[in-house]
């Protein structure tokens, strides 16, 4: 099973996006969230705990999306720290459009590489 992890400065922002993803792509997906609660911000150790949880829920691979700069630094540091990581990919993609696009691909049985490609294509989508 491939899990999605949403890494944000704000836990509520990540949870809102998780809710949207499950509404659009179906709630068969495992979506984890990590982010600051009392204070905004995220660090690598918080991301590692979430990797562990997703792994415990049966995810052999995890596709990570981040909101802004340091969320990616935290995610990539966590991936390096978490030695027993399995397949963890950090997607260079827009947080909302990218994660929704990837979720649609995964929910319909797509592979992780297809999900990443679809997420990256979201950079090209104009909204109006």
Partner 1 sequence: MTVEQFSLLWQCFAQRVRQNQGHLDDLDRAIGDGDHGTNLTRGLGNVETLWNQSPDQNLNLQALSKKVGMTLLSTVGGASGALWGSGLMKAAQVFPASSECDDETFVLWMDAFVGNIEERGKAHVGDKTMVDVMRPAVNWLKAIPQDRSLRARLHELQELVQQYSQGTKDLQARRGRASYLGARSIGHVDPGAFSSALWWECLDSVLGG
Residues in touch with partner 1 (CB under 8 A): 39, 41-45, 68-70, 73-74, 76-77, 80-81
To partner 1, the closest distance from the beta carbon of 35 in angstroms equals 12
- What is the 3-class SS of 6-69, one letter each residue? EEEEEHHHHHHHHHHHHHHHCCCCEEEEEEECCCCCCCHHHHHHHHHHHHHCCCCEEEEEECCH
Rounded Cα distance, 49 and 51, in Å = 5
- As to burial, measured by CB atoms within 10 angstroms (0-12 exposed, 13-18 middle, 19+ buried), residue 39 is exposed
Nearer to partner 1, 74 or 112 (CB): 74
126 catalytic, yes or no? no
Q: Which of 8, 9, 106, 116 is catalytic?
A: 9
To partner 1, the closest distance from the beta carbon of 92 in angstroms equals 11
Nearer to partner 1, 55 or 79 (CB): 79
Nearer to partner 1, 75 or 101 (CB): 75
Positions marked active-site: 9
């Amino acid at each position: 099973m491939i899990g999605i992890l949403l890494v944000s400065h704000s836990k509520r922002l990540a949870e809102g996006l998780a809710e949207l993803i499950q509404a659009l792509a179906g709630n068969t997906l495992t979506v984890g969230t990590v982010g600051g609660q009392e204070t905004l911000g995220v660090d690598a150790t918080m991301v590692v705990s979430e990797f562990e949880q997703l792994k415990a829920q049966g995810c052999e691979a995890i596709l990570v999306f981040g909101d802004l700069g340091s969320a990616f630094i935290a995610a990539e540091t966590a991936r390096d720290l978490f030695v027993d990581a399995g397949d963890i990919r950090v997607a260079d993609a827009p947080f909302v459009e990218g994660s929704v696009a990837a979720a649609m691909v995964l929910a319909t049985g797509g592979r992780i590489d297809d999900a990443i490609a679809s997420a990256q294509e979201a950079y090209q989508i104009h909204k109006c």
